[in-house]
Amino acid sequence: MTQTTDPVALTADLIKCPSVTPEEGGAISLLADLLDGVGFECSRVDRGGIANLYARWGTKAHPKTFGFNGHTDVVPVGDRKAWSVDPFGAEQKDGWLYGRGATDMKSGVAAFAAAAIDFVRNTPPDGSIVLAITGDEEGIATDGTIALLDWMDQQGEAMSACLVGEPTCPDHIGEMMKIGRRGSMTAYFTVTGTQGHSAYPHRALNPVPVMARLVDQLSTHVLDEGTDHFDASTLVVTTIDTGNPANNVIPAEVRATVNIRFNDAHSSGSLTEWLQGVADTLAAQTGAKINMTTQVSGESFLTPPGPLSDLVAKAVQTETNRMPVLSTSGGTSDARFVKDHCPVVEFGLVGKTMHQVDERVEMAQIHQLKAIYTRILQDYFA
């Protein structure tokens, strides 16, 4: 008799777990118990106070191992009074399931877990299936998927292909899949001059005009015109601060932050070198001291169109009658870590309400996503 696992019920159970990063909230334990009960070998890979789960059905490092990566942690709910429902109540209304994480991405985790469970129960494949689930995607992400990949390397575990189940579709399920992501880095600048009285500017070195010149040079520079699979890189000035409450004092210091989203024409290293060069030149011209530090969230990457993207696109088209656009748009995801391990693409639901008040997902879409993931498994192991 064919057995089926309800992905909507599983999504609801996960929403009821208040797993705001870095809290596990019961979500990882729930999945571990469920998967262990149907023959998955489950390992907790906790690190740095973060709960992670590695679940494998089949033999270790089988040459045909399909993996799924996702996260159960969620962003804070914000003002609870602004919600029309309990953020962790998993309330169902008019065909929608409400709750923090409903879209990003407990529905994706539930859909793939349900697809995998039913697949190994009813048509055990010649190969292995892996679920690598983290509790640290919405946080600083140093002890989440990275910890799982480190542990896999130590244990001789491997995936031959991986799908990340983040929301990828703008308006309708099936519209878009991700075959790469832009890199992301932030640069923090501090310009130091000499404090003085605004009536005697010649006795001071005002860092504010220096910073104005710096951010103007950076923000007006054209990084590139885009590449074959990526839009043009962007640099955005996100803040300029002096902390100066007086209107007659030239401050000694001013700070600014810029964020860069870059394509495969650059690396964080090449961009850091450019930023430092601009700062050094301006410092030499003005006599001000310019200090810069950087934080890199991830490098740009691309999984070239090929067998994996074809596999996913075919399944999506079969189940939705839409051929997904191959995109590299959006922010970062844990695919930026997985890409160093094996080929990886991303496909998931419509992401319109993620991180919003009254986050919600159409329940019919969760069933549809499970059907897509099931077809991917069927075709991969055919």
Give the span between the Cα atoms of 184 and 333, in whole angstroms.
11
Which letter, b or e, does each residue of 327-339 get, where b requires 16 or more Cβ atoms within 10 Å of its Cβ? bbebebbbbbbbb
Indicate the SS3 state at residue 174: coil
Is 263 within 8 Å of 230 (Cβ atoms)? yes
- With a CB cutoff of 8 Å and minimum separation 6, the contacts of 269 are none
DSSP string, 39-100: T-EEEE--BTTB--EEEEESSTT-SSEEEEEEE--B-----GGG-SS-TTS--EETTEEEST
Indicate the SS3 state at residue 253: strand
User: Which of 137, 138, 299, 359 is the catalytic position?
Assistant: 137
Is 13 within 8 Å of 27 (Cβ atoms)? no
User: Which of 13, 24, 73, 157 is the catalytic position?
Assistant: 73
Give the span between the Cα atoms of 200 and 67, in whole angstroms.
66
Q: Quick check: is 299 catalytic?
A: no
Is 345 within 8 Å of 179 (Cβ atoms)? yes
Q: What's the burial of 191, exposed, middle or buried (CB within 10 Å: 0-12/13-18/19+)?
A: buried
Q: What is each CA distance from 252 to 88, 197, 216, 244, in whole angstroms?
A: 48, 11, 20, 9
Q: Quick check: is 137 catalytic?
A: yes
Give the span between the Cα atoms of 216 and 112, in whole angstroms.
47
What distance, in Å, lies between the first and last C-alpha atoms of the chain? 21
Q: Which residues are catalytic?
A: 73, 137
